[in-house]
Amino acid sequence: MQKLLIKKSQNQKLKNKFYNRGMKKIWEFIKNLFIMIFGCKYKCKCQEQVVEEQPKEIANLNVEHIIAMDRQNMFLNYKEDYRWFETGITLNKFMDAEDTDATVESIYNVFQTVIERGEGFDTQVVCMAHKGEENGTEVKAAFWVGDCLLNEEEIKLTFEQAYDRLMQANLPKPHSRQCVLRKELGPKEANAQYIFGNTKDHVYVDAVTGDVKTENPVYEGFDETKISKKLGYSFTWLKTKGFVGGPLGEWP
């Protein structure tokens, strides 16, 4: 009987020993788990604070890259049945500012599509806009007039090269941040132009030759009085109106 009691006591001590070891391991596991969770949260929070404290820089958009990207997008959606009419560029700083540079704040590209609908056609103007990392597309039921197609037009100068020509030219710089790449219908034939300025003051940089002029090349040496008498209306309003963008006005 005594031996049986001793054996039971030994078994109980052994159980208690294993139980204590098991509980100790469980508590160590819980402790390490809490340390890992709260340590990770603290680390993440610190990393977030570092990111928030970093100054935001204006992303300089590459004009030629954006044009190529938008044209590819139009080709994938409309195949070859799209017309590229205009590219508008907004600089980060005014051109006549002392610290001005060629940093681009935003870009838009204007396209037109003509889709056959039964016996007629649907004409849409598609504007793709880019500012920083934001991109947007707006489609309007409209018809773009006044410009020649740029799809196959020769454009040798990049935007930055045209901007450098403007800065190197010995003439006043427009108080504006706007530039538009377009080829006007006429009345006189001319290359595509980078038109820097606003509705009051323009400087034209030829996209092929790089020539810089303050007069619109399509009116250079053009005698409007002869054709005005013949057609019965004047071209003077076109010359003085001076839209930066299509004849329908700047894209709203």
Do 156 and 179 form a contact (C-beta atoms < 8 A)?
Answer: no
Provide the domain limits for residue 226: 63-241
pLDDT digit string, tens, across residues 90-111: 999 999 999 999 999 999 999 9
pLDDT of residue 11 exceeding 80, the answer is no
pLDDT digit string, tens, across residues 179-221: 999 998 878 889 999 999 987 788 999 999 999 999 899 888 7
Radius of gyration of the chain (CA): 34
Q: Does 107 lie in the same domain as 8? A: no
Predicted pLDDT at 122 = 79
Q: Does 183 lie in the same domain as 118? A: yes
Q: Which residue(s) pair with 131 in the sheet?
A: 106, 134
Q: Does 87 lie in the same domain as 204? A: yes
Q: How far is 205 from 59, CA to CA, in rounded Å?
A: 25
Domain finish residue from 12, 36, 54: 54
In this prediction the pTM is 0.68
Which distant-in-sequence residues (6+ apart) come within 8 Å of 11 by Cβ? none
Please give the structure tokens belonging to residue 165: 């020509």
Please give the structure tokens belonging to residue 105: 């704040």
pLDDT digit string, tens, across residues 36-92: 555 544 444 434 443 343 434 445 689 999 999 999 999 998 877 889 999 999 999
Is 29 part of a structural domain of the chain?
Answer: yes
pLDDT above 90 covers a percentage of the chain that reads 43
Q: Does 70 lie in the same domain as 4? A: no
pLDDT higher at 223 or 13: 223
Mean pLDDT estimate for the chain: 75
Question: What is the domain count for the chain?
Answer: 2
